[in-house]
């Protein structure tokens, strides 16, 4: 999709020789990883940290050198997608189920560049159901407690089976409607035992690049 590709490729322009680069997950980041692969073939020297097994496999295929997160103190720039971005650059992430590793990698990153197509830019978060990662043990109880915060919850099912994250956990998608206080909601959800993390990323993004279908971009 053109809008995703142009945003992702713009973000790659910020990557310089010698950097440690975080690779996000999803169909927008896919284009950034492809572009990085081309640049590595032409001589760009980077080390990358992947946020999912899918992105790791793609990077390997393209010959992008990978480094373990345990071996580094910081990441220079991470390029990642989002399901929603509000006016204050709060995000909903986790549509692809990689929210936990994405948040860990983002927290190590000096810069987090978010690449999205125009449909992801919203005034207020909440149209996209918020993904929450939770451990399997007692997940029904955990799910009930989350729903008491005021949402309709749905265990994520793929191919007639519960979706399992790269960390061996479940995802529950939570429809809260408009989210007026994302920071408070983030804290409330993560206080529930059994919750590993949720897809709200509060003011971690340092840049947002929006791509449009006609090939134009807005670099915020």
Residues flagged as binding site for substrate? 25-28, 80-83, 93-96, 120
Among 96, 126, 129, 194, binds ligand 5RP (CB under 6 A): 96
Chain CA centroid to CA 87, Å: 17
User: Which C-beta is closer to ligand 5RP: that of 99 or that of 209?
Assistant: 99
Degrees to nearest 5, angle at CA 104 with 136 and 29: 100
- Give the shortest CB-73-to-ligand 5RP separation in angstroms: 25
Q: Which stretch binds ligand 5RP (CB under 6 A): 9-17, 76-84, 139-147, 159-167?
A: 76-84
Site string for ligand 5RP, 21-60 (x = CB under 6 A): ---xxxxx--------------------------------
Indicate the pairing of strand 91-92 with strand 109-117: unpaired
Q: Are 66 and 37 in contact (CB under 8 A)?
A: no
Q: Which phi and psi (to 5°) does residue 157 adopt?
A: -115, 130
**Residue 95 sits in the site that holds ligand 5RP (CB under 6 A):** yes
- Give the shortest CB-102-to-ligand 5RP separation in angstroms: 6
| HSE toward the beta carbon, residue 185, CA cutoff 13 A | 28
Among 33, 89, 97, 151, binds ligand 5RP (CB under 6 A): 97
Q: Please report, as residue ranges, which positions from 146 to 205 form the binding site for ligand 5RP (by CB under 6 A).
A: none
With CB under 6 A as the rule, give the number of residues binding ligand 5RP. Answer: 17
Beta-sheet strands, E only, within 31-156: 47-50, 75-80, 84-85, 91-92, 109-117, 130-134, 152-155
Q: Are 13 and 36 in contact (CB under 8 A)?
A: no
Number of H helices, E strands in the chain: 6, 15
Task: Show Cβ contacts of residue 25 under 8 Å, excluding neighbours closer than 6 positions.
Answer: 51, 52, 54, 55, 80, 81, 96, 98, 101, 102
Q: Which stretch binds ligand 5RP (CB under 6 A): 60-68, 77-85, 105-113, 167-175?
A: 77-85
- Which residues are tagged catalytic? 102
- Give the shortest CB-13-to-ligand 5RP separation in angstroms: 19
Among 15, 50, 75, 99, binds ligand 5RP (CB under 6 A): 99
Q: Please report, as residue ranges, which positions from 6 to 25 form the binding site for ligand 5RP (by CB under 6 A).
A: 24-25
Contact set with ligand 5RP (CB under 6 A): 24-28, 80-83, 93-99, 102
């Amino acid at each position: 999709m053109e809008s995703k590709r142009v945003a992702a490729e713009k973000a790659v322009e910020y990557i310089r020789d010698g950097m440690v680069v975080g690779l996000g997950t999803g169909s927008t980041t896919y284009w950034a990883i492809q572009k990085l692969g081309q640049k590595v073939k032409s001589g760009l020297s980077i080390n990358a940290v992947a946020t999912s097994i899918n992105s790791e496999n793609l990077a390997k295929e393209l010959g992008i050198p990978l480094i373990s997160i345990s071996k580094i103190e910081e990441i220079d720039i991470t390029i990642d997608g989002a399901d929603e971005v509000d006016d204050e650059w709060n995000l909903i992430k986790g549509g692809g189920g990689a929210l936990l590793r994405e948040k860990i990698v983002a927290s190590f990153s000096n810069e987090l560049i978010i690449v999205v197509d125009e449909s992801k830019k919203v005034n207020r978060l909440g149209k996209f159901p918020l993904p929450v990662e939770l451990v399997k043990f007692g997940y029904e109880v955990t799910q009930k407690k989350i729903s008491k915060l005021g949402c309709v919850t749905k265990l994520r099912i793929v191919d007639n089976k519960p979706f399992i994250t790269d960390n061996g956990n479940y995802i529950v998608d939570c429809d809260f409607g408009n989210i007026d206080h994302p920071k408070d909601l983030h804290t409330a959800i993560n206080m529930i035992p059994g919750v590993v993390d949720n897809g709200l990323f509060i003011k971690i993004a340092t840049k947002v690049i929006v791509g449009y279908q006609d090939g134009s971009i807005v670099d915020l």
